[in-house]
Amino acid sequence: MHSAQQIKALQDKKDIIVMAFESSCDETAAAIVKNGREVLGNAVYTQIAIHREFGGVVPEIASRNHVAKLPIVAEQALLEAGLSFADIDAFAVTSGPGLVGALLTGVSYAKGLSFALKKPLIPVNHMEGHVSANFISDQDLEPPFICLVVSGGHTSILLVEDYGKYRELGTTRDDAAGEAFDKIARVLGLPYPGGPALQELAKGGNDEAYTFPKAFKGETHLDFSFSGLKTAAINLIRKLERQDPDFNKADLAASFQKAVVSTLIKNAFEAARREGMDKLVLAGGVCANTLLRSEADRLSKKYGIALTYPKLAYCTDNAAMIASAAYFTMNRGCAKLDLNADPSLDVTGKTPAYL
Ligand code: KG4
Ligand code: ZN
């Protein structure tokens, strides 16, 4: 069937059940979501323990584990939903951005299912997935809103004008916030992934012990830069280690966390103010951070801005957010069998290159 006809037939249905797969990094995930908001089944197999001994994700090992685990998480999601493949209206898959080999495993698996079961396949941008996690956690959320997207590989502020329509208001010029957390955690000797471990260490620390340089002081754009902060923190850690190998790491972690969070928050609220938006949404793995969430809570009350962030389970990588994004963007059309993984797929690109 022609893809436009397939999508039309889908949209005529009262309830649409999408089954999605996510394999862009080190989580192998499958989920089943009804009408973009109601999660019927959600299974995540995290490879964190496997990659921990290497201090970060090893792409080839990630791909091999995705291949082994995709059928298992698919089975789990179906079991939880009490459904079979025959009940699925459309499949969806993360086709980028991410690790190319890892993405290919999910794309190939989903293409196989779509072909064999004659159901449409909707390709999804991973970052669009992170934004859409909020449609699950907040059933009433609708665009337009400002979204601060903070993950391991991306940090940006988007104006979400409509479902699937984004304008980038600011982005990082170097490292992503999650990358900075992971790097400093590693230098402090904490296990991968660094973000949650650094947050835990910071709990007992004094966040005013150290001050770090602020990037772009006095400039008016909304971009981020974390590499200067990262280098300053590494140099400080080396200096403190030389002075006393048992220096207070919790103070360092708390001060560093505060520096990252305050920059993220400042630009996000400034974006809302400039665009006259009264809704701010957080997305991506780093928005699991408790300080980021509590600071955003505090300022949203102060400025009278409605704040939404996903439940913790939907902050880090999962497939429910991919199914939700697929539901809200299916009018773009569905993929053909030559769908490929695109490791640098851009969320603000007008027409997804994969359709
Ligand atoms: O969105 P995500 O699961 O994967 C990517 O798409 O990159 O984000 C993973 C990132 C990692 O850098 C991880 O350290 C960070 O999110 N992260 C956190 C926290 N939980 C996860 N960073 C700070 N605080 C946390 N609680
Ligand atoms: Zn992610």
At 142 the three-state DSSP class reads coil
- Reported as a single tens digit per residue, the pLDDT across 184-243 is 999 999 999 999 999 999 999 999 999 998 888 888 899 999 999 999 999 999 999 999
- Structure-derived torsion over alpha carbons of residues 239, 241, 246, 252, reported in degrees to the nearest 10: 50
Residue 11's pLDDT is what? Answer: 83
pTM for the full predicted model: 0.96
Residue 9's pLDDT is what? Answer: 85
Residue 218's pLDDT is what? Answer: 82
Residue 268's pLDDT is what? Answer: 98
Where the chain has pLDDT below 70, the residues are 1-2, 349-355
Residue 8's pLDDT is what? Answer: 83
Q: Specify the amino acid at residue 352.
A: P
Does ligand 1 lie within 6 Å of residue 25's CB atom? yes
Secondary structure E strands in 73-208: 90-96, 121-125, 145-150, 155-162, 165-171
Residue 332's pLDDT is what? Answer: 87
Does ligand 1 lie within 6 Å of residue 123's CB atom? no
Q: What are phi and psi of 281, to 5 degrees?
A: -125, 140
280 C-alpha vs ligand 2 centroid, how far in Å? 19
- Reported as a single tens digit per residue, the pLDDT across 296-307 is 999 999 999 999
The residues, ordered by sequence, that sit 6+ positions from 344 with a Cβ below 8 Å of its Cβ are: 96, 97
Does ligand 1 lie within 6 Å of residue 41's CB atom? no
Distance in angstroms (rounded) separating the CA atoms of residues 133 and 131: 6
Which atom of ligand 1 is least distant from the CA of 284? 1
Residue 301's pLDDT is what? Answer: 98
Residue 1's pLDDT is what? Answer: 55
